[in-house]
Structure 1
């Protein structure tokens, strides 16, 4: 099974455990068309864990964000490379979510369980053994309580934005991968159309909610991927029982004749 097929199979088998590190490396291997990325990235994570002498949460944070120098990219936040786990591992710069994955997967290797927290606008971590303790991987792994998390949320969305405590609930690995996919889709649209097409070819094969089906169908149509767009609209029509999506799919297929 090649890396793209393994990625799709892993994301579609919702009852099976998902290896976050492997799946995100499969994604980047597919986009870069370099199968060697997967094993190289896993070995890189193994070495990060092996060089972590203090297997406490504080020791892990110091190791990654001080000794190893992992840092948030404040110069070019939306650079697609910041969503590519292999690049983040080698350059030690990234977005909150990919830096969080580095911490989650290094922590797993040394017996520290960190959960991803999908707060809108800024991905965080939480210590499963101390659920009131949050960490900001983009800010050197700084420790945060709920009040600090709310303040960070309002700094991003404005003081009038309503905060819901569910924003601080853990998210599962597939949700983390989906968020990385969304980030990559947005960043590749303006920077790398070729990789965007490879990404779309993967995404159309995945389980998708109606809003995702609609958004990806629109994007595929705009890229001239009419058959992919039509298939997504067929799925949308079936999921929502609406004729408009099915009719739109028929019009797109007519353009292929």
Structure 2
């Protein structure tokens, strides 16, 4: 079936399912909800349209909300499964997949495959920039990465709307190119990994940067990829009111990075008065902490 025709068929079925959301037969509505949930992100715009057009306490809106929340929590359930598998294998979780699943919860209306495609596109731009470089040294790789991410794509730190959900989740940060330090650092590391650049996530108090073990330099993606020294990191920590300890500049595992992103998301949803989202993420965070707790 041609892609355009397939899209039309999907859209037609979704429209038909939406019309049955408030059917008087509970068996019908249960089947409809199950089918809508199976459509995942494709069903989300249709469900959101129902919520925007219907009274909040109407059966139509209640059923649409239940579907939407199920789609979102299913992504978190898959995330917990991945963490459980990693714990059983004694390995770390894949950062990109984990952040993508978290992004589905936060921003369920987009194709999750677009995240990987967007990162691939940026990586190919880095490769093209490297073709013009005199060498493929580690310095040249990082300079090419900075040129693409900050000069051409113009990723930058969030401003006045720093503590809002769309500055935290991967999908909207890739789309709008503004984010908080940890999300920008994750994007930077994911592109770097595609280019064969080893970088570590460093979770300082009140800030997040990355570290190049090859060059022994810290990089601040929130501030346009500025190279910073260990001494400057220590100075930042002390000026922020913390007593420096070596643990503040330790490499963070992917699961630790994920936990920190979730904490930021909880704060953002709470600040935005989105209590269901904040409470659901808090429960997820507590489950992750139990799963990854060292015996």
Q: TM-score, normalised by structure 1?
A: 0.74
Q: Compare CA radii of gyration and give the structure with the larger one.
A: 2
Deviation at 1:101, TM superposition (A): 0.3
Residue matched to 1:164: 245
CA-based RMSD of the aligned residues comes to: 2.3
Conservation of the 8 A alpha-carbon contact between 2:106 and 2:169: no
Indicate the SS of the match to 1:125.
Answer: strand
- Whole-angstrom CA distance in 2 between matches of 1:104 and 1:86: 16
Query: Any unmatched runs of 5+ in structure 2?
Result: 1-37, 39-73, 131-135
Deviation at 1:129, TM superposition (A): 1.1
Conservation of the 8 A alpha-carbon contact between 2:96 and 2:190: yes
Conservation of the 8 A alpha-carbon contact between 2:168 and 2:261: yes
Cα deviation digits, residues 148-173 of structure 1 (max 9, x gap):
1122223322xxx3111221111111
Conservation of the 8 A alpha-carbon contact between 2:210 and 2:219: yes
Deviation at 1:201, TM superposition (A): 4.6
- Whole-angstrom CA distance in 1 between matches of 2:256 and 2:265: 14
1:33 corresponds to 2:108: yes
Indicate the SS of the match to 2:77.
Answer: helix
* 1:154 maps to which of 218, 238, 241: 238
Residue matched to 1:125: 210
Q: TM-score, normalised by structure 2?
A: 0.65
Conservation of the 8 A alpha-carbon contact between 1:37 and 1:86: no
Residue matched to 1:189: 270
1:23 corresponds to 2:76: no
1:74 corresponds to 2:159: yes
Residue matched to 1:97: 182
Q: How many residues align?
A: 207
Which runs of at least 4 in structure 1 moved beyond 4 Å after TM superposition?
Answer: none
Q: Superposed, which structure 2 residues align to 1:169-184 within 5 Å?
A: 169-184=250-265
Conservation of the 8 A alpha-carbon contact between 1:28 and 1:84: yes
Cα deviation digits, residues 160-208 of structure 1 (max 9, x gap):
x311122111111110000001111111112122322442353343233
Query: Any unmatched runs of 5+ in structure 1?
Result: 213-238, 240-257
* 1:8 maps to which of 75, 80, 91: 80
Cα deviation digits, residues 29-81 of structure 1 (max 9, x gap):
023334x5421111111111011122611211221111110100122221121
Conservation of the 8 A alpha-carbon contact between 2:92 and 2:253: no
Indicate the SS of the match to 1:33.
Answer: coil
- Whole-angstrom CA distance in 2 between matches of 1:71 and 1:195: 26
- Whole-angstrom CA distance in 1 between matches of 2:289 and 2:81: 11
Query: Closer, same or farther in 2 for the Cα pair 1:201/1:31, shift >3 Å?
Result: farther
Conservation of the 8 A alpha-carbon contact between 1:31 and 1:198: no
